[in-house]
Amino acid sequence: MTRAAVDQAPESVVAIAAAVRTGAISAVAVARRALARIAALDPPVNAVTRTLAARALAEAAAVDARIGAGRDPGPLAGVPYGVKDLFDVAGQPTTAGAGMRRDAPPAAADAEAIRRLAAAGAVLVATLNMDEYAYGFATDNAAWGLTRNPHDRTRLSGGSSGGSAAAVAAGMLPFSLGSDTNGSIRVPASLCGLYGLKPTHGALPMAGVFPFVASFDDIGPFATSLDDLAMVHGVLAGEATPPAAMPAVALLGGWFVADIVPDLAAALAAIGEALGGIPTVELPQVAAARSAAFLMTAAEGGARHLPELRRRALAFDPATRDRLIAGAALPAAAWFDAQRFREGFRARCLDLLAAHPVLIAPATGCPAPMIADPVVQLDGRPSPARASLGRYTQPISFVGLPALSVPLRRAGRLPIGVQLIAAPGREAQLYAVARRLEGLGLVGFGPPPQVSGT
């Protein structure tokens, strides 16, 4: 693989699949190039925990063989991708980002999402870094290290799917899969300047995905374009998302704009003006919703890991262990109280969405925090980024709503994204609004500086 081939601008999902299907390039050549790009681009970023060269080349050869035999190779023919290291990959331990699981028994079969992608012709190339057990927004991992933001390697990539976002933003892979419990797709998508989808809760297959909080866990893709994201989403969902007319839209105010940086406030105002002067609305009791989401996350996560905490607590990442122990100590009554509150809050969200089918809000309130000073400002005071970057995403996943993070166009500035929020099952409306914003020149991916040359 020549240096020129490695340095070539990353190709899109749609372009790679079309080139492979028509024989313009072989799937094996695409897989080799992806492996070479990871080798060249990953060391300063640290997004990849494991490359799967033998598997990737075998899957790619199978795609080429299907094409050679005149059979349909699938809509994602030869497209390389990676998965957050909590998806089961046959023959590999599913670490969920935990050093204590390095020697876990290998998975007997692929996760259902990987199986669907393979059936569509996609080629799995790598597993990707994450916060231990998906508990955090930093992708700062005691066992696999910290994943750096490709746009500025002195800054966080976000988490817990930070490796999935950084690998795509850096141009190693055209798409990846992550998981989102409280914002773990939308936060790194915002900080790395990508499109990232958290679907309606339960809409995409969770079989073979290491669980964190069953009440909120979902999987979803990262990509550099809406077309790419929609293609992958369609394969995962089992059907393409149908086009939708542009729905009525509103900006979320109050809690959702209280702590945002000034240029994000200006960008939201510009969106409102470009869409014809849309209204600003508020959700009641958002702070209580975020607190309830924190409580349920801690309680379910702590209960899940309690046997291992009792057996070998010191094997956990210290940044994760204390939070899980605290969650395990919560009384069951607190979880039931939070669940009851969730039902009422969901009803209020749905009432608002009945009047304004898509809501626009920040995905994060600021660009990526510095690694040396990992804090965000909340109520005028510094707060740890690892726990606080989900301020605007947590209340949305708390009630299972679909949300699409889209990157604002910010030439020469660090990325930041806004999330588009709809009622359950209304992902098509999210795409409609995102395409409108894209057509207005307000959102879109901007590649980072060349990460391998500095």
Q: Which residues are catalytic?
A: 84, 160, 184
Amino acid making up residue 224:
T
Q: What is the DSSP string of 192-257?
A: HT-EEEE-STTSS--TTB--S-TTT-EEEEEESSHHHHHHHHHHHHTSPPPP-PPPPEEEE-GGGG
> Strand, coil or helix: what is 140?
strand
With CA atoms as reference, report the closest residue to 220 among 197, 251, 238.
Answer: 197
**For residue 445, what are its two tokens?**
């991916």
**For residue 391, what are its two tokens?**
């301020």
Q: Which helix (H) or strand (E) holds 377?
A: strand 375-378
Distance CA(35)–CA(31), nearest Å, equals: 6
Q: Categorise residue 69: left if φ over 0, alpha if ψ from -120 to 50, beta otherwise.
A: alpha
Q: Which helix (H) or strand (E) holds 321?
A: helix 318-328
Amino acid making up residue 122:
A
Q: How remote is the C-alpha of 86 from its chain's centroid?
A: 13
Q: Strand runs (DSSP E) across 48-147, as ranges?
A: 48-51, 80-84, 123-128, 140-141, 145-146
End-to-end CA distance of the chain: 21
> Strand, coil or helix: what is 93?
strand
Distance CA(153)–CA(151), nearest Å, equals: 7
Sign of the Cα pseudo-torsion (300, 179, 343, 377, in order): positive
* Residue 160 CB partners (closer than 8 Å, separation 6+): 84, 97, 130, 131, 134, 135, 136, 137, 139, 178, 179, 181, 184
Q: For residue 358, list its beta bridge partners.
A: 249
Q: For residue 29, list its beta bridge partners.
A: none
With CA atoms as reference, report the closest residue to 136 among 404, 400, 394.
Answer: 394
Q: What is the DSSP string of 168-190?
A: HHTTS-SEEEEEESSSTTHHHHH
